[in-house]
Amino acid sequence: MSARPAPVVISCGEPAGIGPEIAARAWAHLKETVPMVWMGDPRHLPDGTPHEVIDHPDAAHAWSARALPVLAHAFPGPATPGTPDPAHAQGVIDVIAACVDLVETGAASALCTAPLHKQALIEGAGFAYPGHTEYLAALAGGGRRAVMMLASDQLRVVPATIHIALKEVPATLTPALLRETIEITARDLTDRFGIPTPRIAVAGLNPHAGEGGTMGREERDWITELLTEMRREGVDVTGPLPADTMFHAAARRRYDAAVAMYHDQALIPIKTLDFDRGVNVTLGLPFIRTSPDHGTAFDIAGTGTANPTSMIEAIKLAARMASR
């Protein structure tokens, strides 16, 4: 008989956002199929959420079908939906670190994170990272670079540059950065998604992929040469392709993941195609991390109307990746 899989651990995220609500609703949807445990302050869960405080993730198996297993982490006080409290910032940060420790030690199989509110983290605890992805890379240590993938049944897309101003993209986008992004994507498509020889399409930086240098020279000066070199090394990579023609249905059938040059070039197509089911996956880490592809939604927090679909898909994907 095979050993029971370790549960997926869900970090609480911003207590005043929809994170606690969608975690509770995801548990209700998946409780018979995916073992999971939530880490946070039980007071922040929606009223009436059946839950059981446990001491170790192993105990989740005994409770997950009847109540949401909770690894309790005390916060300074209750949360007010829609109104972030900087006093909770350090608790949010500490929960993420504690969840990473559980995954790295094997007590949890994967990490699924609820959305953060970076302004509250900065104001309350001087948070020094642009977001979850960069903080998780720092926790992983070793100068590791993490890569953000947005994934759904219709599209997987990776931005080479993420949370920077558009005017900073051309200078930030270097041959070394693009090469590393493609290599990490290819490796994790094999290791985490089970695709033996992944096909990767790369978008151009400029309109029409530069159109021979008339609309920008990056493609002509170095991007085409880099991709040609990587093909000679055995990477199944195509491009640079005009970004406005690589996301329709027929084009998507020709690759397993697309690498885009900047944030919106990557996120607009997947959020248009599959807004509710998109999942944020961090590639390049020594552990599995997924997250719903949306924010804290303060405007609807506490109303009971938040759609848990992306959180459900994130937990399911984390469990599938862990099973490999």
Region 1-146+285-324: CATH code: 3.40.718.10
Report, as an integer, the average pLDDT of 218-229.
Answer: 97
Report, as an integer, the average pLDDT of 3-10.
Answer: 89
The sign of the torsion formed by the CA atoms of 127, 287, 226, 273 equals: negative
Residue with tokens 């903080």: 135
| Distance set, CA 56 to CA 36, 108, 110, 291, 315 (Å) | 12, 10, 15, 22, 19
- E-strand ranges in 12-95 read 36-40, 51-53, 68-72
Q: Which amino acid is at 154?
A: Q
pLDDT of residue 152 exceeding 80, the answer is yes
Determine the Cα–Cα distance for residues 106 and 108; give it in Å rounded to an integer. Answer: 5
Q: Enter the tokens of residue 41.
A: 């302050």
- Which pLDDT belongs to residue 61? 85
Determine the Cα–Cα distance for residues 102 and 8; give it in Å rounded to an integer. Answer: 10
pLDDT in tens, 76-98: 999 999 999 999 999 999 999 99
Q: Who has greater pLDDT, 274 or 3?
A: 274
DSSP 136: H
Confidence tier at 3 by pLDDT (50, 70, 90): low
- Which pLDDT belongs to residue 2? 43
- E-strand ranges in the chain read 8-11, 36-40, 51-53, 68-72, 110-113, 147-151, 156-159, 199-203, 236-241, 257-260, 279-283, 289-292
- Which pLDDT belongs to residue 63? 84
- Which pLDDT belongs to residue 133? 86
Per the DSSP assignment, residues forming a β-bridge with 292 are: 279
The pLDDT > 90 percentage for the chain reads 90
- Which pLDDT belongs to residue 95? 98
> What is the pTM (predicted TM-score) of this model?
0.92
- Which pLDDT belongs to residue 64? 79
pLDDT of residue 104 exceeding 90, the answer is yes
Beta carbons within 8 Å of 76's beta carbon, 6+ residues apart: 85, 87, 88, 91
Q: Read off φ and ψ for residue 154, nearest 5 degrees.
A: -100, -25
Superfamily of segment(s) 147-277? Isopropylmalate Dehydrogenase (3.40.718.10)
pLDDT in tens, 180-218: 999 999 999 999 999 999 999 999 999 999 999 999 999
Judge contact between 280 and 158, C-beta under 8 A. Answer: no
pLDDT in tens, 17-74: 999 999 999 999 999 999 999 999 999 999 999 999 999 999 988 887 899 999 999 9
pLDDT of residue 166 exceeding 50, the answer is yes
Confidence tier at 276 by pLDDT (50, 70, 90): confident
Judge contact between 190 and 198, C-beta under 8 A. Answer: yes
Per the DSSP assignment, residues forming a β-bridge with 158 are: 259
The pLDDT > 70 percentage for the chain reads 99
For the chain, domain boundaries = 1-146+285-324, 147-277
